[in-house]
Amino acid sequence: MARVRLNVAERREELLRATVEQIEIRG
């Protein structure tokens, strides 16, 4: 289950990208 840690990192990056995209759309 070494993939779990990688999944967490990927999820964090996806969340960060989504936040940045929302900020760009609003700004």
pTM of the model: 0.57
Q: What is the pLDDT of residue 18?
A: 98
27 residues of the chain, pLDDT tens digit each = 677 888 999 999 999 999 999 999 998
Question: Which residue's entry shows tokens 């996806």?
Answer: 14
C-alpha to C-alpha distance for 13 and 24, rounded to whole angstroms: 16
**Residue ranges of the domains in the chain?**
1-27
Q: Which two tokens stand for residue 22?
A: 């929302």
Q: What is the pLDDT of residue 5?
A: 84
C-alpha pair distances (Å), 20 with each of 1, 3, 10, 11:
30, 26, 15, 14
Q: What is the pLDDT of residue 1?
A: 62
